[in-house]
Amino acid sequence: MPHKKRPLDRDSGVVRDASLVVIACEDTYAVKQYFARFRTRKVQFIVLPTEDGRSSPKDVLSRLDSFRETEATEEGDLFWICIDTDHWVQASHLQNLREVLQRCRQKKYDVAINNPCFELWLFLHFEDWRSLEAVSCGDVITVLRRVAGSYQKNRCAQLAIDASQVQRAMRRAKEMDRDPDEILPSRPVTRMYRLIEILLDRDSIQLNR
């Protein structure tokens, strides 16, 4: 079997003993552009986005599995699944979503679940989310555009976000997560704060701007 090469990008200033933070997501642009905001030498973010339309929870899990099978990983590396509930909680898809979440627990993958979508996390950088009622991703994007001025999934990098806003988003998201042990939350929740919290605790990241 050929030796697996550790996928560290030295040109980005990442140190030799840096940890990997691998995030498989169903989004194509927003998650990857969001994490590109962070400056770090101690970790390297590797976002595995959807590039071929295969965005189901099973496809997202498969991308993370494939990465672990083909790349060299070490103790201390973090492996995350970023999943939006959105239409995956509809009756025809719900069982598949539950199975993926269960498999993530078995594989010890961390899960940043967003109900309904990642844009809720972005919104919390600007304002509190006040409703406990279920909403659609379209609803969240509408109010995000209202508070942020503009938003397109493929232009997440253009959102003006500073370090204090990230801290506020973490606090707001944590306060919203009233049942953190609930695997599949039924109310608006974004658990992206868990990943950011871990990285800040490790003193591993700073915001680029």
Q: Which pLDDT band, with edges at 50, 70 and 90, does 84 fall under?
A: very high
Residue 154 above 60 pLDDT? yes
Q: Cβ neighbours of residue 9 under 8 Å, at least 6 residues apart?
A: 44
Q: What is the average pLDDT value for the chain, to the nearest integer?
A: 89
Q: Are 175 and 130 in contact (CB under 8 A)?
A: no
Q: 158-194 burial, b if ≥16 CB within 10 A, otherwise e?
A: ebebeeebbebbbebbeebbeeeeeebbeebbbbbbb
Question: How distant, in Å, are the alpha carbons of 69, 153, 195 from that of 5?
Answer: 12, 32, 25
Give the span between the Cα atoms of 160 and 58, in whole angstroms.
33
Which pLDDT band holds residue 6 (cuts at 50, 70, 90)?
A: confident
CA angle 197, 49, 192 (to 5 degrees): 20
- Strands 189-190 and 110-115 turn out to be antiparallel
**Per-residue confidence (pLDDT) for residue 1, from 0 to 100:** 41
Residue 209 has pLDDT above 60, yes or no: no
Distance CA 154, CA 68 (A): 27
Q: Is 69 helix (H, G, I), strand (E, B) or coil?
A: helix
**Each residue's pLDDT tens digit, 166-198:** 999 999 999 999 999 998 998 999 999 999 999
Q: What is the pTM of this model?
A: 0.91
Which residue is it, tokens 């979440």?
101
Give Cα separations from 180 to 71, 174, 184, 199 (angstroms): 32, 9, 10, 19
Residue 138 neighbours by CB under 8 Å, 6+ apart: none
Average pLDDT over residues 103-130: 96
Nearest alpha-carbon partner for 23 in 194, 209, 203: 194
Inform me whether the pLDDT recorded for 2 exceeds 60: no
